[in-house]
């Protein structure tokens, strides 16, 4: 009974938490510029992330250790230093993106500039983390995130041409302006295969006290949670394809995305977009900030745990506070949220091999995982992820600079 | 005689204090050279300075410069081998109270200067 | 094993990868548009999207789908983007037959954006409808100019 509840909650929170600034921006861009042609990218990236998240959860359940903890212990500090450094860099950029998303949503609703909201939002985030427990944060924000299902409802209500839509799941390798096409494709992969996601997931499993009896539940959450969650991103892509593309509106600025839901919901559409974006980014920013704190505290062996009183793990608290402060600063000085998003997504794609490699090696450690180590299916996916990640590292930043320039 | 693989089973392990609190990690080891006899583990070392030394002399100098600005002058900490109570598969148990050690100096400083005042204000007004 | 990571020199696969990256960058740079006409068209390309965005924004305001503050923000972003394109277009060495009509269109676009903003500020529904019509016409002209020249 308890497992059934954990499974249901895990799936629901994964659906509500799937969309974030990165996934929304890249999906909307894809739909606006290429209609349904890039649906296959979301599908492929989701398939890979299901496997990675399953492995991450299985690892934590079988060893009762989180990833950064286990990697430092197993590989040593000198080896872990480079992945830890690039992971932290990626964390900060993504955190800035998500905070920017909350601020932009508040700007839409209030009319006040995005940068104005940076400080209040930063304070709100730190307060929330300070005073809440892990489960309160995870569950409440992700459940609120279900409002993003509005994108799916809107997509369906537009009656997209099924033939074109299904054709979008078949990879098209040539397109108009190939640099832009592949730039968006890469940024979608970066947005979905977020390094912070599978690192955070392992720490979350330890916070939730998972043991090896949760491995089945984990499989369900990974497959169904991520799977259904990706439908929300696909919904955003379809809406952009049906609303923005026909009018010739590309996404050079996030304000253009805010119009997305106004065709399907003439009265509520604008507000739904703002609230959906704000809540989705709220959930994501809390997760990224925590992920940064988990990775840092575990690397240096400090006390950690969101459910602990801040008096017991002050250094852990100091890390997420500092990270939020730094990332809020980026928005405060007026960095454009959309440009920051695209940079963050390219960075995520670029750092993927560094952070995935130690993880995937550990998944084959039979001494550590015993019978839960990777089988040939998981390892095949692992090799695919690593090869893809290596290609992405080389092309992602150049593509972001050359392809996205318009 | 039971053998211990120093790099695999000791180095980078989580260090846990007497009361079960996580204190840090085994960042370094001090071996005692005894002439013709095999070297002996004298102490374990913990701290940023130890990690910096592992990364190289430049990192060590850089960290020394940073420390001049730091409020807590926490040096690296040496824990003599006699204080090591148990070597578990995933952590080292030592016979010290976490709070007594420099490892916790930052933790305590942050707690006293940031957490307590804010929590204290909350209790007064709440 | 651990020390091998910190003390070994960069192995040749890394050097090869770096060489490959440089080659890729050079290739991508070489693929950039070369003629001034192509360069101009690329610079002004976002303007079409901005014209369409302003038009949609005006329509949505009229149907009470978006607040006035949003129109303000959208026209501000559009003004910045179109202004930047106009600046670049002024410097362009493309043939006057293409450059001059485009520059004129961009100037009209900036004006239309301003008119829209003013009309919304004054709650002038008729004024907004006029602006929307104008923006729609400008967009059509823009498409004709840029598609014809490409």
pLDDT, residue C31, reads 61
Query: What is the average per-residue pLDDT within C54-65?
Result: 96
Give the nearest chain B residue to C6 (CA atoms).
Answer: B55
Q: Report the share of chain A in percent with pLDDT over 70.
A: 99
Evaluate whether B23 touches B94 at the Cβ level (below 8 Å). yes
C-alpha angle A79-A85-A88 in degrees, rounded to nearest 5? 135
Q: Which residues of A touch C32 (CB under 8 A)?
A: 402
Q: What is the mean pLDDT of residues A325-334?
A: 95
Yes or no: say if A115 and A362 are a contact pair by the CB < 8 Å rule: no
The answer to which of A334-338, C14-18, C128-132 has the lowest mean pLDDT is C14-18
Whether A170 and A262 have beta carbons less than 8 Å apart is answered as no
User: Please, what is the end-to-end C-alpha distance for chain C in angstroms?
Assistant: 58
Helix (H, G, I), strand (E, B) or coil at B3: coil
Single out the residue of C49, C62, C39 nearest to residue C133, CA to CA. Answer: C62
Task: Name, in order, each residue with C-beta under 8 angstroms of B35's C-beta and a sequence gap of 6 or more.
Answer: none
Q: Is B11 on the interface with A (CB under 8 A)?
A: yes
Closest Cα partner for A98 from A141, A143, A156? A141
Residue B12: closest C-alpha in chain C = C2
Q: What is the pLDDT of residue C97?
A: 87
Among A78, A255, A269, select the one facing C73 at the smallest CB separation. A255
- pLDDT at site B122: 58
The whole-angstrom separation of Cα B85 and Cα B93 is 5
Most A CBs within 10 Å: which of B53, B115, B118, as the mutation test of the A interface? Answer: B115
Q: Is A322 on the interface with B (CB under 8 A)?
A: no
Residue-level pLDDT at C110: 95
CB distance B25–A72 less than 8 Å?
yes
What is the pLDDT at residue A405? 39
**A66 to chain B nearest CA, in Å?**
12
Give how far Cα A259 sits from Cα of A274, A396, C15, C51, C133, Å.
10, 28, 47, 14, 19
Q: Is the pLDDT of residue C142 over 50?
A: yes
Buried residues in C84-109 as b, exposed as e (16+ CB within 10 A):
ebbeebeebebeeebbeebbebbebb
Higher pLDDT, C44 or A314: C44
**Considering chain A, what percentage of its residues have pLDDT values greater than 90?**
76
Residues of C in contact with A110 (CB under 8 A): 69
Q: What is the pLDDT of residue B123?
A: 57
Alpha-carbon distance values, B17 to B23, B49, B79, B94, B95 (Å): 6, 20, 11, 5, 6
Model confidence at C3, pLDDT cuts 50, 70, 90, reads very low
Strand partners, B46: B77
Tell me the chain A residues in contact with residue C81 when contact means C-beta distances shorter than 8 Å: 252-253
Question: Alpha-carbon distance B18 to A398, whole Å?
Answer: 52
Mean pLDDT of all residues in A144-155: 95
User: Cβ of A2: how many Cβ atoms within 10 Å?
Assistant: 7
Q: What is the mean pLDDT of residues C121-142?
A: 96
Tell how strand B37-46 and strand B91-94 pair up. unpaired
pLDDT at C5 over 60: no
Kindly list the distances between the CA atom of residue A147 and the CA atoms of A17, A194, A262, A315, B58, in Å, as whole numbers in the listed order.
10, 22, 15, 34, 51
pLDDT tens per residue across span A108-135: 999 999 999 999 999 999 999 988 888 8
- Contacts B22 to A, Cβ<8 Å: 301-304
Find tokens 């420099």 and name the residue: B102
Cα distance between residue B90 and residue A69, in whole Å = 10
In which band, very low, low, confident or very high, does the pLDDT at B111 lie, cut at 50, 70 and 90?
Answer: confident
Distance, CA of B115 to CA of B108 (rounded, Å): 10
Query: Contact C31/A179, CB-based, under 8 Å?
Result: yes
Q: Write the CB contacts of B53 (distance below 8 Å, at least 6 apart in sequence).
A: B28, B59, B60
Phi and psi (nearest 5°) for A314?
Answer: -60, -35
pTM of the complete model: 0.90
For range A376-384, the mean pLDDT:
93
How far apart CA A126 and CA A316 sit, in angstroms, is 12
Chain B residues at the C interface, defined by Cβ less than 8 Å, are 7, 55-56
Nearest CA distance, C8 vs chain B (angstrom)? 13
A406 — pLDDT class (breaks 50, 70, 90): very low
**Residue in A361, A348, A292, A289 with CA at minimum distance from that of residue A23:** A348
User: Higher confidence at residue B99 or residue C142?
Assistant: C142
pLDDT digits (tens, 9 = 90+) for A162-196: 999 999 999 988 888 888 999 999 999 999 999 99
Structure tokens at B85: 């109570």
Mean pLDDT score across all residues of chain B: 82
Q: How much is the pLDDT for A107?
A: 97
- Pick from A374-378, A392-396, C122-126: least confident: A392-396
Separation CA A283–CA A140 (nearest Å): 9
Give the helix/strand (H/E) hosting B38: strand B37-46
> Which helix H or strand E contains B93, and what residues bound it?
strand B91-94
Chain C residues lying within 8 Å of B55, measured CB to CB: 6
Rounded mean pLDDT, C31-50? 84
pLDDT band at C1 (very low <50, low <70, confident <90, very high): very low
Q: Is the dihedral of CA B33, B39, B43, B45 positive or negative?
A: positive
Model confidence at A68: pLDDT above 50: yes
Mean pLDDT of the residues in chain A:
92
pLDDT for residue B72:
63
Q: For position B124, what pLDDT does the model report? A: 55
Q: Please give the full DSSP string across A291-324, using - where no structure is assigned.
A: HHHHHHHHHHT----TTS-TTT-HHHHHHHHHHH
Q: Note the pLDDT of residue C32.
A: 62
What confidence category does residue B90 fall into, taking pLDDT thresholds of 50, 70 and 90?
confident
B30 forms bridges with which residues in the sheet? B43
Task: Judge: B56–C6 Cβ closer than 8 Å, yes or no.
Answer: yes
**What would the mean pLDDT of A256-260 be, rounded to a whole number?**
96
What average pLDDT does range B83-112 have in this prediction? 81
Cβ contacts of C30 within 8 Å, gap of 6 or more: none
A43/A169 Cα distance (integer angstroms)? 7
Q: Which of C2, C5, C7, C8 has the highest number of chain B CBs within 10 A, making it the mutation to test binding with B?
A: C2
Rounded CA gap, A259 and C55, in Å?
12
For residue A84, list chain B residues with Cβ-Cβ distance below 8 A: none
**Predicted confidence (pLDDT) at residue B98 exceeds the cutoff of 80:** no
**What is the interface size between A and B, counted as CB pairs within 8 Å?**
57
Phi, psi dihedrals of residue A215, rounded to the nearest 5°: -65, -35
Task: State pLDDT tens for residues A214-257.
Answer: 999 999 999 999 999 999 999 999 999 999 999 999 999 999 99
Helix (H) or strand (E) holding C106: helix C96-121
Query: Which H or E element spans position B30?
Result: strand B28-34
Q: What is the mean pLDDT of residues A187-213?
A: 92
Instruction: Please name every residue paired with B79 in a beta bridge, in sequence order, or none if there are none.
Output: B44
What is the tens place of the pLDDT at every residue in A86-97? 999 999 999 999
pLDDT digits (tens, 9 = 90+) for A264-298: 999 999 999 999 999 999 999 999 999 999 999 99
Neighbours of chain A (3+ CB pairs under 8 A): B, C
- The DSSP output letter for A253 is S
- The residues, any chain, with a CB within 8 Å of residue C33's CB and separated by 6 or more, are C39, C41, C42
Residue B75: which pLDDT band, with cuts at 50, 70 and 90? low
A129: tokens are: 């983390």
Is A133 or A328 the better-scoring residue by pLDDT?
A328
pLDDT tens column, A24-42? 999 999 999 999 999 999 9
Asked if C66 lies within 8 A of A262 by C-beta distance, the reply is: yes
User: Could you give the CA distance from residue A323 to residue A52 in angstroms, rounded to a whole number?
Assistant: 25
């Amino acid at each position: 009974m308890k497992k059934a509840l954990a499974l249901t909650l895990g799936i629901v929170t994964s659906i509500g938490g799937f969309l974030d600034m990165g996934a929304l921006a890249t999906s909307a861009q894809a739909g606006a510029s290429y209609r349904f042609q890039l649906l296959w990218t979301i599908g492929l990236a989701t398939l890979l992330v299901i496997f990675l998240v399953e492995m991450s959860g299985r690892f934590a359940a079988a060893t009762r250790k989180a990833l950064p903890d286990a990697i430092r212990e197993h590989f040593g500090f000198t080896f872990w230093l480079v992945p830890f450094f690039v992971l932290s860099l990626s964390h900060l950029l993504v955190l800035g993106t998500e905070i920017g998303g909350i601020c932009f949503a508040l700007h839409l609703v209030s009319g006040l500039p995005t940068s104005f909201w940076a400080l209040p939002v930063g304070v709100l985030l730190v307060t929330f983390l300070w005073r809440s427990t892990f489960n309160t944060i995870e569950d409440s924000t992700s459940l609120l995130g279900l409002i993003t299902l509005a994108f799916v409802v809107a997509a369906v209500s537009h009656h997209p041409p099924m033939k074109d839509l299904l054709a979008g799941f078949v990879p098209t390798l040539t397109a108009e302006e190939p640099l832009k096409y592949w730039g968006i494709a890469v940024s979608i992969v970066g947005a979905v295969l977020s390094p912070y996601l599978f690192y955070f997931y392992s720490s979350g499993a330890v916070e939730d006290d998972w043991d090896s009896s949760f491995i089945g539940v984990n499989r369900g959450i990974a497959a169904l949670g991520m799977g259904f969650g990706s439908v929300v991103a696909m919904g955003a892509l379809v809406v952009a394809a049906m609303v923005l593309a026909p009018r010739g509106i590309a996404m050079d600025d996030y304000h253009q995305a805010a119009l997305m839901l106004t065709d399907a919901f003439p009265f509520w559409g604008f507000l739904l977009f703002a609230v959906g974006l704000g809540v989705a980014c709220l959930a994501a920013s809390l997760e990224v900030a925590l992920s940064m704190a988990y990775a840092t505290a575990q690397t240096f062996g400090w006390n950690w745990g969101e459910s602990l009183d801040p008096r017991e793990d002050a250094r852990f608290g100091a890390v997420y506070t500092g990270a939020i402060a730094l990332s809020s600063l980026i928005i405060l000085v007026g960095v454009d949220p959309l440009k920051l998003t695209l940079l963050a997504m390219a960075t995520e794609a670029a750092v993927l091999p560094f952070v995935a490699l130690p993880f995937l090696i550990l998944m084959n450690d039979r001494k550590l995982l015993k019978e839960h180590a990777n089988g040939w299916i998981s390892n095949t996916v692992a090799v695919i992820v690593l090869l893809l990640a290596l290609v992405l590292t080389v092309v992602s930043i150049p593509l972001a600079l050359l392809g996205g320039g318009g | 005689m039971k053998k211990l693989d120093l790099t695999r089973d000791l180095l980078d392990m989580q260090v846990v204090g007497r009361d079960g609190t996580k204190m840090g990690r085994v960042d370094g080891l001090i071996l005692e050279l005894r002439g013709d006899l095999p070297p002996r583990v004298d102490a374990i070392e913990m701290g940023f300075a130890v990690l910096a030394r592992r990364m190289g002399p430049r990192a060590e100098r850089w960290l020394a410069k940073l420390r001049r600005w730091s409020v807590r002058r926490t040096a690296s900490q040496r824990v003599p081998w006699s204080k090591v109570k148990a070597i578990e598969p995933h952590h080292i148990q030592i016979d010290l109270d976490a709070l007594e050690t420099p490892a916790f100096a930052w933790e305590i400083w942050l707690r006293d200067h940031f957490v307590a005042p804010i929590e204290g204000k909350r209790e007064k007004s709440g | 094993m651990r020390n091998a990571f910190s003390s070994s020199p960069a192995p040749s696969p890394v050097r090869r990868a770096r060489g490959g990256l440089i080659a890729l960058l050079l290739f991508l740079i070489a693929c950039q548009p070369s003629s001034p006409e192509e360069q101009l068209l690329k610079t002004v390309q976002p303007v079409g999207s901005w014209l369409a965005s302003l038009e949609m924004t005006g329509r949505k305001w009229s149907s009470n789908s978006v607040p006035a503050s949003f129109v303000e923000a959208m026209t501000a972003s559009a003004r910045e983007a179109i202004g930047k394109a106009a600046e670049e277009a002024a410097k362009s060495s493309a043939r006057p037959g293409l450059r001059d009509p485009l520059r004129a269109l961009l100037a009209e676009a900036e004006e239309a954006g301003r008119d829209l903003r003013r009309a919304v500020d004054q709650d002038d529904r008729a004024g907004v409808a006029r602006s929307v019509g104008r923006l729609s016409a400008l967009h059509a002209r823009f498409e004709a100019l840029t598609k014809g020249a490409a």
